[in-house]
Structure 1
C-alpha cells in the first residue's frame, strides 16, 4: 500500500470512553490529553463540548505543550424538525464552531439526533422520516453548512450514525443525492456504517467527492448479530462491546484507507472506538496497539496540516 501521506491520523475522547461533558465514569480531560499524546497521536477532536477546556487560550496551552492539534468539533442536530428548531440548533452550534475555529481546525462534525434514546432505549420518534421531514433535513443541513462556512470558515461533515435517520446505505445515498456538495460533505464512520449494513469502500468509490472526513472504527460481527436480533439500542450495544479493537472486527481498515488514498485529497482519519463506560486503564493500551497497527499500514506521519 502506498504510504498515504495525505491522510492525517488522530484520535478522540470517544476512544477514552468519553461521551458527555461531565460524567464520573469518564477519565479527567488532563489524562485523556496526556494519554492520547503518549499513544503517538498528534490530532484530536474536541469531543462533547465542555469536556475539554472551552477557553481557547487555555486549551491551546494544554494542547501545545503535549504536541497536539485539533481537527474538528462535534454538534448534534435535529434539523428534520425544520425552521422551528433553527434558533435552538444555532445556539448549540455557535460556541462549538467558535472554539473549533479558534483552535485552528477546519471541520465541524454534525451528528443527526437519535430516534431512540441511546441510554434507555426509549423511542423518541418514528425511525422513518416522512418526505416532508426529509426535505427539512436536507434544506436545513444546507443552511447550516452555509452559515457555518460564512460565519466561522468551517466545513460541515455529516456523520451517519446508528439509531439516527441517516444510517443505512439507502438513507446515506438519499441524503447525499439531495444535498449540495458545495455545502454538505460526509464524515464516514466505518464502524457506524458497518453497524447499519453499509460498505465503506463502496461508499468511498461511489461518492468519493462527498467524503470530507473519516472516523476509523470496527464492529464485532458476533455481537452485532445479537444486537440486531434483539433490537438493542446503540448505547447498550456499545456497553456490550459491539465496537471493538482493530483489527478484530469489520470492516477491514486497510482497504478503506487505500480507497480513501485513491481520492488524492487531504483527509483526517480519526480513530474512534466507542467504549462507554469503560475502565480508566483500558483505553491507553488499545490506543497504542491501534496506532502501531496503522503504522503498519504506512500511516506513520500525520501529513500536512
Structure 2
C-alpha cells in the first residue's frame, strides 16, 4: 500500500465508518456479519464514530444500542432513509412514517444528521428500468418541494439536519443533476452528503463541488472507485448492485478520487464535518472487512484525519 506523505492535521474532519463497509445493505441477511461482530470490529479498526446503517440491522431499542456502543467507545453520527419525493404529495405520508422512526432512533443516539438517499430509477439487482432516468420539470419541482418539507419537519420534530446523498442509479447523481437539485432547494432546509465514490462513479469532481457549493456540504462519505472496473461497468450498462459485486468500490488509495485533496478542500470550509468511510462491498466474505478497515483508518491518519 502507498502511504500519503505527512500532512497538517485536518482538525475540522471527524472520521468514522459504517455498516456498509462491512457489507451490510439490509436489516437482515445471512450474508452479512452479525451486528455485534460489526460493532466489535469497527471499534477494533480504530473508529469511534458510526452510522446506524439500514434500520433494524443494529438494535432499535435506544437503551440497548446505547449500552452496546458505549462499552465499545462508539458514538452514532447519523441514520439513513430512502425516499421517492419526486412522486409528489401522494407519497408524503408513507415517507414520513419510515423517516420518523429512523429519525427518532437517530436523535435518541445523540446524532445530528439524517442521510437521505433518493429512490433508484432501475432495479439494483436486475437492471429492470423502474422509471425514466431523467425527471420531468414537474418531478424536479416535487423533488425540491418535498425535500425542503422533509428537511424542515425533521429539524422541527427531531432537531436533525437532513443531508441528501447523490447516489448512482438515482435522479441525483451527475454534476448536472446535483447542481440542479442544489439550485432548486433552500440551503436553510437542505444540505448535501457528498459521497466521493458515488460522485466519481457518476463522473463528478468532488473538489470542484466542495469549492463551488461549499456552504451546502453538510456531511461526507469517503470511498473510492476502481477506474478499470468502472469502465467495464459503464460499457456493460450494469446497475449499481452488480457493479459493487465486481469490486467497483475499492479501498484507498487504490482508486479515485484522491482523498487528500478532497479532505483539505473540506477543511478549508472552516466547519466541522463528519467523514464516514463507506466502502460498498455487498456481499463479501466475513473476514474481508476488518483488514481493509484497519488499513483505511491508518491511511486516513496519514492524511491528517
Same fold (TM over 0.5): yes
Name the SS of the counterpart of 2:88 in structure 1.
helix
C-alpha distance after superposition, 1:71-102 (max 9, x if no partner) = 00000000000000000000110110000000
Mapping of 1:117-156 within 5 angstroms? Answer: 117-156=123-162
2:193 corresponds, among 187, 194, 198, to 187
* 1:241-260 aligned within 5 A: 241-260=247-266
1:14 aligns with 2:25: no
- 1:32 has 2:38 as partner: yes
Matches within 5 A, 1:66-145: 66-145=72-151
The Cα shift of 1:121 comes to: 1.3
Q: Which runs of 5+ in 1 are unaligned?
A: 300-305
User: Which runs of at least 4 in structure 1 moved beyond 6 Å after TM superposition?
Assistant: none
Rounded Cα–Cα distance in structure 1 between residues aligned with 2:35 and 2:129? 32
Question: What is residue 57 of structure 1 aligned with on the other side?
Answer: 63
Where 1:98 maps in the other structure, the secondary structure is helix
CA offset at residue 6 of structure 1?
1.4
Q: Deviations over 1:92-146 (max 9, x none)?
A: 1011000000000000000000000112211110000000000000000000000
| Secondary structure at the counterpart of residue 270 of structure 1 | strand
Which of residues 239, 244, 247 is equivalent to 1:238? 244
Structure 1 CA distance for aligned equivalents of residues 245 and 28 of structure 2: 18
* SS class of match (2:39): helix
Are residue 261 (structure 1) and residue 267 (structure 2) matched?
yes
Residue by residue over 1:249-286, the C-alpha shift from the partner in whole angstroms, topping out at 9 and shown as x without a partner, is 00000000000000010000000000000000000000
**Structure 1 position 280 matched with structure 2 position 281:** no
Q: Does 1:294 align with 2:295?
A: no
- Distance in 1 between residues matched to 2:258 and 2:236, nearest whole Å: 25
Q: Give the Cα separation in 2 of the matches to 1:54 and 1:117.
A: 28
Matched, 1:41 2:43: no
Q: How many residues align?
A: 299
Please name the residue that 1:213 is paired with: 219
Unaligned runs of 5+ in 2: 1-6
Partners in 2 of 1:298 and 1:264 — Cα distance?
16
Query: Counterpart of 2:163 in 1: which secondary structure?
Result: strand
- Give the secondary-structure state (helix, strand or coil) at the position aligned to 1:235: helix
State how far apart, in whole Å, the 1-side matches of 2:74 and 2:238 are: 36
Structure 2 match to 1:302: none
TM-score by length of 1: 0.98
Pairwise CA RMSD: 0.4
Q: Deviations over 1:228-261 (max 9, x none)?
A: 1110000000000000111000000000000000
Give how far 1:2 is off.
2.5
Give CA deviations for 1:23-65 in whole Å, capped at 9, x if unaligned. 0000000000000000000000000000000000000000000
Describe the SS at the equivalent of 1:171. Answer: helix
Distance 1:33 1:121 in 2: 33
